Amino acid sequence: MSVNDTLAVSANSFFIPVVSVVGVGLIGGSFAKALKNGGHVGCVLGVGRDQASLERALQLGLIDRIATLEEAGRESDFILISTPASVLGRVCETLGPLLKSTAIMTDACSTKVQVIQDARQSLGVRVNQFIPGHPIAGSDESGPAAADPLLYWNRNVILTPLPENSTNDLKQVRQCWQACGALVREISAIEHDRIFATVSHFPHYLSALYMYMVSRSDSSGMALALAGTGFRDFTRIAGGSPEMWRDIFISNRQAMLKEIDAFMPALEETRQMIENSDAQGLHAWLEQASVARKKWGENK
């Protein structure tokens, strides 16, 4: 059975008349396309700031209609907010008073504690209709043209439910992501932010910082001309959206600061190994890192 066949098996297991995607880029567009391909949605509304991007999403069949945020609030049965974290509060503030009592909202932001605080402040008593989420998937490309209905296949999606969320609403959010082929897990918002500071946010910080340093050096032109695949692989994620990553670093600042503080002694320790030509120490450190990376790769 192919991936497409597998996704289509549950086509009749649930159906949502109107889904809105706020931010129809790689993440939101892929979500919409997967649900449409599986026959789970009647109409997809696209909401965003860039009219050209929305028109492209319409041409590509990711959405069925371009809508305002207010129209999405009044008409939707399910809303995915796929925007930078700093925008979510304002989006929820507009949507909240307009929502159907049965409508469900979720998000795709990479941090959760601050997002939940913003949602609570903006939605008030209607926060029960918001189920926080984070799909762990991405690409070097962005925008509607990069949307891929198989983007979430065998990828993790993390939900950090609120005490106010109903069992049925949580079930529907799980169903939507599972229909995209995702593996859905539930953890607390605090644990989520701590884990992803370690495995996602801090690595991006290091990659961006290194790329920034290289680009500002006097020999950057020659260095970049001679750089190979190792440099390409290490700096790949530095090409991500500055707006998105700025918001992630700020909204998850406490966990980020802990990662930076823990990194500094390790940096100094390995610096001293090099300064002292400590071959044994360097070998042990590099071997431990190499073994850990290979073991992780074997399980992916």
Domain spans, the chain = 3-187, 191-298
CB 19 within 8 A of CB 173: no
Three-state DSSP class for 50? coil
What is the band of 2 on the pLDDT scale with cuts at 50, 70, 90? very low
pLDDT for 20: 97
Sign of CA dihedral 47, 52, 55, 60: negative
Residue 226 has pLDDT above 90, yes or no: no
pLDDT for 9: 43
What is the band of 254 on the pLDDT scale with cuts at 50, 70, 90? very high
Q: Give the closest residue to 57 by CA, choosing from 136, 125, 146.
A: 146
Tell me the β-bridge partners of 292. none
Q: Give the closest residue to 196 by CA, choosing from 259, 261, 105, 289.
A: 259
Query: How many CB atoms neighbour CB 288 within 10 A?
Result: 10
Element (H, E) at 244: helix 242-251
d(CA 180, CA 171): 14
What is the band of 139 on the pLDDT scale with cuts at 50, 70, 90? low
> In this structure, what token pair is assigned to residue 122?
């903006």
> What crossing angle do the helices spanning 189-196 and 113-123 adopt, rounded to 10°?
140
CB 270 within 8 A of CB 285: yes
105: phi then psi, degrees, rounded to nearest 5: -120, 145
Residue 95 has pLDDT above 80, yes or no: yes
SS3 of the chain: helix, strand, coil, percent, to 5: 60, 10, 25
> In this structure, what token pair is assigned to residue 164?
């106010």
Sign of CA dihedral 147, 135, 31, 177: positive
What is the band of 140 on the pLDDT scale with cuts at 50, 70, 90? low
> In this structure, what token pair is assigned to residue 225?
């001309």
What is the band of 6 on the pLDDT scale with cuts at 50, 70, 90? very low
pTM, to two decimals:
0.86
Q: Which CATH architecture has domain 191-298?
A: Orthogonal Bundle (1.10)
pLDDT for 141: 65
For 82, residues 6+ apart whose C-beta sits below 8 A from its C-beta are 21, 22, 23, 24, 25, 27, 28, 31, 107, 108
pLDDT tens digits, 197-218 = 999 999 999 999 999 999 998 8
Class of CATH domain 3-187: alpha beta
